[in-house]
Amino acid sequence: MEAPLLMLPPLHLYSPGALKTPDMTSATTAHHRSNSTVVSPNLSAEELIQHVEGSPGRGRQKTRVPVVDHVRPAPKDPIASVGEAFQADASPNKINLGVGAYRDEEGKPVVLRCVRNAEAKVAGSEFLESISTLANSRLVEESIKLVYGKDTDVIGEGRLAGIQTLSGTGACRLFAEFQRRFYPRSKVYFPDPTWSNHHSIWKDAEVPQGTFSYYNPKSKGLNFPALIDDIKNAPESSFFLFHPCAHNPTGVDPTEEEWREISYHLKVKNHFPFFDMAYQGFSSGDLDRDARAIRTFLQDGHLIGCAQSFAKNMGLYGHRVGCLSILCTDTMQALAVKSQLQQIARAMYGSPPIHGVLLVSTILGDPDTKALWVEELRAMVNRICKMREALQESLEKLGSPLNWEHITNQVGMFCFSGLTPQQIEQLQREYHIYMTADGRISMAGVTMSNMDYLANAIHEVTKSGQES
């Protein structure tokens, strides 16, 4: 019987060294023998070149080293492919509703004033090698305060193991590898639906995965009874991934009371909650309010994992700044967990670039700059809320036979529209409007200048009354 996850068993229980990668040698060798001449592994570089290109004075030989012959194109990323199609479209009316980053009223990326202020403060300092460790520590410390609260006891108790990561994706990948190494028989459950990359991240870490009920297509809200049933029916000591606010892609968040009930049932089954916090502040405009779900679990005595990203709420998408933290039972366990996370990170990428770290740690650590950030974050949220209201109102004025209240009921950057794949394809083909195939609309891509065109296009493809 496995040790309960909430007890976080000693790390030596599952030795990473005992986990072996499947031996592909025989399969690879067989493939090579069936496709080309076998090449001795003892050839020098010069001999290898000569073998491939032929001896001097002789024609180029057909014999080659079959290193990548078997590689086939990977499936296109569902989000990236939307952007590629949009870029290839020459229409002046085209609209990109697939982008997952904030855009201003003109549809352009934004560099926040707080970022410019931080840039001025740290100018040149990224060349000082001595500040790297200090900046990383400061980033982790300030990030943890955002999630758990600046006055929480767990910070002073030293129970949090935190490490800087390559944005939220890197944080998830590190945790997935941590789970594989030390809980190899455990399974992770994702909400259905979730950010598509979650499945890829844990799949690459070779962690078994499943889903739990989340979205109700009929109500375009939360399927809460089914969610609770899935928590109850999952094997004890499973891992559950949650979006603590601004759920991607649905924009549907549990209420405070629902979060408390979710926390209770996870505790009963000894499940481990892992939160992917990619949009803190984008749900309500209030950083503390958007962290309330995690703090509920903290109050209920859970041990917690959390991935954070500053790509969206600071407009630093290209800087890849994030944090992974794991709440442990005591200081000794936190030190052990942190050392393991550092070892995993070192094997993957060493350490992240310093510039983005300096920007984020400066914004979070300087009271005036942080206050400016909060003000700008609130302004971004207010604009998105206004776009939600305007889009719903525009569709209703056009006499749409459908109920569009979910546009304003949902929160965060995205609206889960309810459009069918056929309607989405028609929007792209006839109106040059691009979104992901599941009907997710990035409200950041909606502006007052494209509002009428967008609403009319949606009305035209949905006026028959069909919806998914």
SS3 category, 333: helix
Query: 13: burial class by Cβ within 10 Å (0-12, 13-18, 19+)?
Result: exposed
∠ CA 176-14-270, nearest 5°, is 65
Active-site residue set: 195, 276, 312
Which residue's structure tokens are 């009354």?
465
Q: CA separation (Å) from 81 to 98, 201, 376, 427, 428?
A: 9, 19, 30, 16, 13
Angstrom distances, CA of residue 423 to CA of 98, 224, 466: 15, 28, 9
- List alpha helices for 269-353, DSSP H: 287-290, 292-299, 331-348
**b/e map of 83-105 (b: 16 or more CB within 10 Å)?**
eebbeebeeeebbbbbbbbbbee
67 alpha carbon, distance to own chain's centre: 33
343 Cβ contact list (under 8 Å, min separation 6):
none
Q: Indicate if the alpha-carbon torsion angle 343, 340, 2, 144 is positive or negative.
A: negative
Q: How far apart are CA 307 and CA 322, in angstroms?
A: 7
Cα-atom radius of gyration of the chain, to the nearest Å?
A: 25
Tokens of 25: 């040698």
CA proximity to 101, closest of 314, 370, 415, 321: 314
The type of residue at 268 is V
Q: How many residues does the chain have?
A: 468
Distances (CA, A) of 299 to 106, 267, 292, 305, 399: 43, 12, 10, 15, 48
